[in-house]
Amino acid sequence: MDEIDNESPQSLGGKKRAENLSAGQRHEIASRAAKVRWAEASTLPKATHIGSLKIGNSDIPCAVLSDGTRLLTQAGFLGALGRSTKPKGKSQVATDGLPPFLATKSIIPLITREIFDATVPISFVTSSGGKAHGYRADLLPMVCDLFLEARSQGLLTAQQAQIAEKSEVLMRALAKVGIVALVDEATGFQQERDRDELHRLLSVYLSEERLAWAKRFPDEFYKQIYRLKGWAWPVGKGKTPLLGHITNDVVYERLPTGVIEKLRELNPTVEETKRRKHKHHQFLSAEVGQPDLRDHILQIIPIMKISKDWNAFKRHLDVAFPKVGTQFDMLPEQ
């Protein structure tokens, strides 16, 4: 029996009508259908970052959406659990509102509201403009934990026992790293997330307007620098211009990441004098930045006092307040 014999009368009738349509009519119908699809897609979140997440022996396609949702594609999620990656029906939801791999009476009592809510598939637009479905990334460890608990209670069927074995492998792989962090790294969203966090930090750490000058560095700070360097403490105000470089090194460059770069932008060097017109601390916010500066200075002065010379001080300082990317030896002083 050939394929057409298996078609319903309605299907055959539809094909017959389609054959009788003019080219213009077919184009109009296709255009209307496309508009419907585009209207639906315009309301869906878009995948801004995509990647493939390797957990154990599984490679799971993943994405970060425009609304910040981290998800695993539906096919990847099912494949990681050892299920078919081509579920029947686009929503993969059973009559009880659960995906088939969870819709078993024996394990339903173990399903929390959190798991139930997370099993709703999320539709999104891919980077190529197509429509796809996925699950929240944090559903995976919850499902794995559920199957391991059900196995311990002897509630699983033979097929579900295979899911429990997969779950054990996945949970071991996830033991040291959170699923959200893994997705961020796999998709490249981590760098953008870090930039957003830096922007939020700088918005509260720095002042939008330059504040009036006030004495922020106690004389003891400078006296200790002179002692550690073996310099004679000057009488009057004739301090060495090297103090600017030293202060950047031991103070400003050890404040939160990004602060010193932004300070240099807000307080640039004047070309004619090769000096800065203002003090960096005048651009730190009164609520967050300046208190943090004060605390940092108060913490490094005791380190200065216990150090016999500048090299010893720098070793102690690098341990207590390392710069980003600094590597140092933990060897005791000779």
The answer to whether residues 290 and 282 touch, using CB atoms and an 8 Å cutoff, is no
- pLDDT one-digit tens code per residue, 96-114: 678 888 888 888 889 888 8
Residue 32 lies in a domain: no
Residues 183 and 56 placed together within one structural domain of the fold: yes
Q: What is the C-alpha radius of gyration for the chain, rounded to an integer number of angstroms? A: 32
Strands (E), 14-113: 47-55, 58-65, 70-73
| Statement to judge: residues 143 and 92 lie in one domain | yes
pLDDT tens digits for 272-286?
A: 888 888 899 999 988
- Provide the whole-model pTM: 0.46
Using a 10 angstrom Cβ sphere, with 0-12 exposed, 13-18 middle and 19 or more buried, the burial of residue 6 is exposed
Amino acid letter, 221? F
Element (H, E) at 151: helix 139-152
Q: 85 and 170 share a domain? A: yes
The dihedral built from the CA positions of residue 29, 31, 34 and 35, taken in this order, carries a sign that is negative
Would you say residue 239 lies in a domain?
yes
53 and 183 fall within a common domain: yes
The DSSP element (H or E) to which 115 belongs, if any, is helix 113-118
pLDDT digit string, tens, across residues 114-158: 888 888 888 888 877 788 889 998 899 899 999 999 999 999 888
Last residue of a domain, one of 120, 153, 187: 187
Is the domain of 182 the same as that of 303?
no
Q: Which helix (H) or strand (E) covers residue 30, if one does? A: helix 23-42
Nearest to 284 by CA among 276, 273, 293, 275: 293
69 pLDDT above the threshold of 80: yes
Q: Final residue of a domain: which of 152, 187, 222? A: 187
CA 291 to chain CA centroid, Å, is 28
Same domain, residue pair 168 and 118: yes
Report d(CA 298, CA 306) in Å as an integer: 14
What percent of the chain has a predicted confidence (pLDDT) above 70?
Answer: 72
